[in-house]
Amino acid sequence: MAGRTAKTTKAAKPRASSTARTRVKASPKSKSAVKVKATVKKTPVKKNTTKKAVIKKAVAKKAGVKKIVVKKVSARAKVAVKAKAPAPKTPNKKASVKKIPARKSSVKTGGRVKAVDKVVAAARTVKRAAAAQASPENAKILSELADLAKYIRAAKREIAAIRPDDVKDEYLPKAADELDAVVEATADATNSIMDACEVVEGVMSDVSPEVSAKLMDVTTRIYEACTFQDITGQRIGKVITTMKHIEECIDALIGAFGARGRGAKKKTAQHQASAPRQGDGKNITDADLLEGPQLGANAKSQAEIDDLFANFD
Amino acid sequence: MAVDKSMNVLIVDDYKTMLRIIRNLLRQLGFENVEEATDGTMALEKLKEGGGNFGLVISDWNMEPMTGIELLRHVRADDKLKHIPFIMVTAESKSENVITAKEAGVSNYIVKPFNADTLKSKMVSVLGDF
């Protein structure tokens, strides 16, 4: 589950960005291209035939540009541009795109900025910067950002639909309580069985050796069978550990996508609308009555049932 | 040499029902002097208090705060306790577990669920015939 969650959130993470002045891709290819650029600088090459220029022309042609005019920029002008201070933060001007910080798994909610919101904010910054400069590369970036936004919205909707806060706050704790009750019940039953076996062992000396041997054999087999309780207890323990891990994953999911609140409120509203009314008994169906064994204080003893029964007479 | 069934046997398991089962099986085999511990730490204290007067330890593996394998290592590292036969009775059945226990000095290894015959045969293998 953790792996799937991680993959989902990693898939939503946009590629690392670079400054507006350099090529926006951060792939190994472009890194080597940067290296090539550095070496190209040292050797005197005509401006029109630099690798950068060639790539730009190819991209422009692909995008359908019919005429390419090569700007002649003096080396002095280039140095002056590079020496400029970092671009201002106002949205419409050329801005150096901030590197999107690594996603921190956020478990905290309730007022704090969620991880996915940070991604969305960073994506908006990139979008504004890209929109400020019309170019084929930026068009591609804008298109990818639009896809990313769609993906995040769809993921948020799907996560909210499974109501992760209900799963965490209601279903998982209930399941854990039921499993604890299973372990306790089997332990009680095993002890009762062994109590009975010990009584049988106690009377073995009062019977013939033949019968005594048979009783010994039978009680031994009962003790052997009782070891099931240890195994089932351990297996249930593993299930509870798995459930705790699922709970942590759900916490991380809620923290990243902020899918808390809506589901619970919806469910509460639905529950209130459809809950059988206590007292008049008119709305209670047979299906509503099937809840299985109760836990703890909710479980009525036989004596309490007998009292209730007697009250109907 | 005949096995002295009046020896002290220490059984260690965090499940009380398992302690009761093993105790009853041991009683059926004639071993009445059985002491119990619910984890490795408690077991080690009892062994040290006993001054090495235990004739056998039967221990589970998965316990907290001290596991059975840690208890075994402590026992084998202690000059006064290292001679005590130690049988691991556990649900851990991977080869790695058996190898680790063997390397730590376990006398024999029983996988849960087990039957009385298995318990007896492993006890015979470490104590001698009885």
Confidence of residue A260 (pLDDT cuts 50, 70, 90): low
3-state secondary structure of B109: strand
| Enclosing H/E stretch for B90 | strand B86-90
- Over residues B18-46, the pLDDT tens digits come to 999 999 999 999 999 999 999 999 999 99
Encoded tokens for B18: 């398992």
Q: Do A157 and A22 reside in the same domain of the chain?
A: yes
| Angle A200-A204-A208 from CA coordinates, rounded to 5° | 140
Query: A272, A287, A305 — which closes off a domain?
Result: A272
Q: Do A182 and A248 reside in the same domain of the chain?
A: yes
Cβ atoms of residues A186 and A232 within 8 Å: yes
Confidence of residue A308 (pLDDT cuts 50, 70, 90): confident
Cβ atoms of residues A10 and A115 within 8 Å: no
A190 touches chain B (CB under 8 A): yes
Is A73 a member of any domain?
yes
Question: CB–CB of B17 and A231 under 8 A?
Answer: no
Query: Residue ranges of chain B with pLDDT lower than 50?
Result: none
A131 touches chain B (CB under 8 A): no
Is A305 a member of any domain?
no
% of chain A beyond a pLDDT of 70: 54
Closest in B20, B112, B116 to A231, CB measured:
B112
How many angstroms separate the CA atoms of A248 and B50, rounded? 45
pLDDT exceeds cutoff 50 at A212: yes
Encoded tokens for A91: 């949205």
Ordered by where they begin, the domains of chain B are 8-124 (3.40.50.2300)
Q: What is the DSSP letter of A297?
A: G
Is A14 a member of any domain?
yes
pLDDT exceeds cutoff 50 at A207: yes
- Domain tally for chain A? 2
Q: Do A127 and A209 reside in the same domain of the chain?
A: no
Q: Do A137 and A37 reside in the same domain of the chain?
A: yes
* Side-chain half-sphere CA neighbours of A98 within 13 A: 13
Q: Do A139 and A176 reside in the same domain of the chain?
A: no
Closest in B20, B91, B115 to A224, CB measured:
B115
pLDDT of amino acid A135: 84
Closest alpha carbon within chain B to A224: B115
pLDDT of amino acid B85: 96
Question: CB–CB of A230 and B112 under 8 A?
Answer: yes
How many angstroms separate the CA atoms of A142 and A158, rounded? 24
Q: Do A120 and A261 reside in the same domain of the chain?
A: no
Which region holds residue A93: left if phi is over 0, alpha if psi is between -120 and 50, else beta?
Answer: beta
Q: Do A140 and A194 reside in the same domain of the chain?
A: no
% of chain A beyond a pLDDT of 90: 17
pLDDT of amino acid A53: 63
Q: Do A137 and A178 reside in the same domain of the chain?
A: no
Is A122 a member of any domain?
yes
pLDDT of amino acid A301: 74
* Spatial CA neighbour of B87 closest among B5, B2, B1, B11: B11
Q: Do A152 and A66 reside in the same domain of the chain?
A: yes
Q: Do A128 and A232 reside in the same domain of the chain?
A: no
Q: Which residue has the higher pLDDT, A193 or A107?
A: A193
* Spatial CA neighbour of B52 closest among B81, B26, B74, B75: B81
Query: A236, A253, A272 — which closes off a domain?
Result: A272
pTM (two decimals) = 0.59
Sign of torsion, CA B19 B24 B27 B28? negative
- Over residues A213-252, the pLDDT tens digits come to 999 999 999 999 999 888 898 899 899 999 989 988 888 8
- Over residues A290-301, the pLDDT tens digits come to 677 777 777 677
A198 touches chain B (CB under 8 A): yes
A230 touches chain B (CB under 8 A): yes
Is A294 a member of any domain?
no
Task: List C-alpha distances in Å: A134 to A80, B90, B93, B105.
Answer: 23, 69, 66, 74
Task: List C-alpha distances in Å: A95 to A125, A130, A148.
Answer: 9, 9, 21
Is A284 a member of any domain?
no
pLDDT of amino acid A57: 65
Is A170 a member of any domain?
yes
3-state secondary structure of B39: coil
Residue listed under structure tokens 């639909």: A161
How many angstroms separate the CA atoms of B73 and B82, rounded? 9
How many angstroms separate the CA atoms of A25 and A37, rounded? 15
Domain that residue A234 falls in: 164-272
Cβ atoms of residues A51 and A33 within 8 Å: yes
Question: CB–CB of A227 and B20 under 8 A?
Answer: no
Q: Across residues A37-64, what is the average pLDDT?
A: 56
Is A2 a member of any domain?
no
Residue listed under structure tokens 């759900």: A250
Q: Do A236 and A184 reside in the same domain of the chain?
A: yes
- Mutation site for B-interface testing, chosen from A195, A204, A227, A232 by largest number of B Cβ within 10 Å: A227
Q: Do A148 and A182 reside in the same domain of the chain?
A: no
